[in-house]
Chain A
Amino acid sequence: MSHQETPFRAPRRLGKHLSLTALNLTSLGLAAAGLVLALAAPPAATPARADETCQSPYMAKITGNEEYIYVWTLGMEGVGDESDKLVTIDVRPDSGTYGKVVASVSVGGRHEAHHSGFTDDRRYLWAGGLDTSMIYIFDVHTNPGKPTLHKTIKTFVKDTGGAVGPHTFYALPGRMMITGLSNDKDHGGKSALVEYGNDGAFIATHWIPDPKDMRGADGQANADGYNYDARVLPRKNVMLSSSFTGWSNYMMDFGKMLQDGEAMKRFGKTVTLWDLHTRQPKQVFSVPGAPLEVRWAWGPNHNYAFTTTALTSKIWLIKEGDDGKWTAKAVADIGDPSKVPLPVDISISADDTRLWIDTFMDGTARLFDISNPEAPKQIYQKKIGAQLNMVSQSWDGNRVYFSTSLLANWDKKGADNEQFVKGYDWDGQELKHRFTVDFIKEGLGRAHLMRFGASSLYSS
Chain B
Amino acid sequence: MKKSLAAAALGAAVLSAAVAAAAGAADPGLDMARTAQFDFDPPKAGTYTLPVIKPLPDGAVLDEDGKRRSLRALVAGRIALISFIYTRCSDPNGCPLATAVLYDIHDASAADRALAENLHMVSLSFDPAHDTPEVMAGFRGFDTGSGPARSEWSFLTTASQADLDPILADFDQVVRRRVDAQGKDMGLYAHQLRVYLVDRRGRVRNIYGLGFLDPRLLVADVHTLLAEERRAASQ
Contact = CB atoms under 8 A, between A and B. Distances in A.
Interface of A: 3, 5-14, 16-17, 20-24, 27-28, 30-31, 33-35, 37-38, 41, 43-46, 57-58, 60, 120-121, 123, 173-175, 195, 197-199, 201, 203-204, 234-238, 275, 277-280, 300, 458, 460
Nearest to B47: A278
Given A7-B37, A8-B96, A121 B192 contact: yes
Given A9-B97, A201-B54, 16 more contacts: A3-B211, A5-B93, A8-B97, A9-B35, A22-B138, A24-B139, A24-B140, A27-B88, A31-B92, A45-B193, A121-B172, A123-B174, A173-B212, A174-B196, A277-B217, A277-B220
A44 B52 CA distance: 28
A131 B138 CA distance: 57
A162 to B, nearest CB: 17
7 smallest beta-carbon distances between A and B, as pairs: A34-B90, A173-B209, A8-B92, A23-B138, A174-B207, A20-B141, A278-B48
A342 to B, nearest CB: 34
Interface in B192-209: 192-194, 196, 207-209
Contact of B91 (A14, A45, A458): A45
B43 A275 contact: yes
A43 B54 contact: no
A259 to B, nearest CB: 43
Given A121-B174, A204-B51, A460-B177, A34 B104 contact: no
A197 B90 contact: no
Nearest to A216: B47
Interface of B is mostly: loop
A57 B194 CA distance: 14
Contacts of A238: 40
Given A8-B97, A44-B192, A280-B48, A234 B212 contact: yes
29 contacts: A8-B96, A13-B107, A17-B100, A21-B140, A23-B135, A24-B138, A24-B139, A30-B90, A34-B89, A38-B92, A41-B180, A43-B188, A121-B172, A121-B174, A174-B196, A175-B207, A198-B172, A199-B54, A234-B211, A235-B37, A235-B40, A237-B40, A275-B48, A278-B43, A279-B48, A280-B48, A460-B178, A460-B179, A460-B190
Interface string B45-57: 0011001111000
Contacts of B120: none
B185 to A, nearest CB: 9
Contact of A199 (B90, B135, B172, B180): B172
A161 to B, nearest CB: 13
Interface of B: 31, 35-40, 42-43, 47-48, 51-54, 87-94, 96-97, 100-101, 103-104, 107, 135, 138-142, 172, 174, 176-180, 186, 188-194, 196, 207-213, 215, 217, 220
Given A43-B191, A45-B94, A236-B40, A174 B209 contact: yes
B187 to A, nearest CB: 9
A58 B211 contact: yes
Given A11-B100, A14-B100, A460-B177, A174 B53 contact: yes
A291 B92 CA distance: 38
Nearest to A275: B43
Given A7-B37, A174-B172, A199-B172, A12 B31 contact: yes
Contacts of A44: 91, 190-192
A238 B141 CA distance: 36
Contacts of A37: 90, 186, 188
A34 B172 contact: no
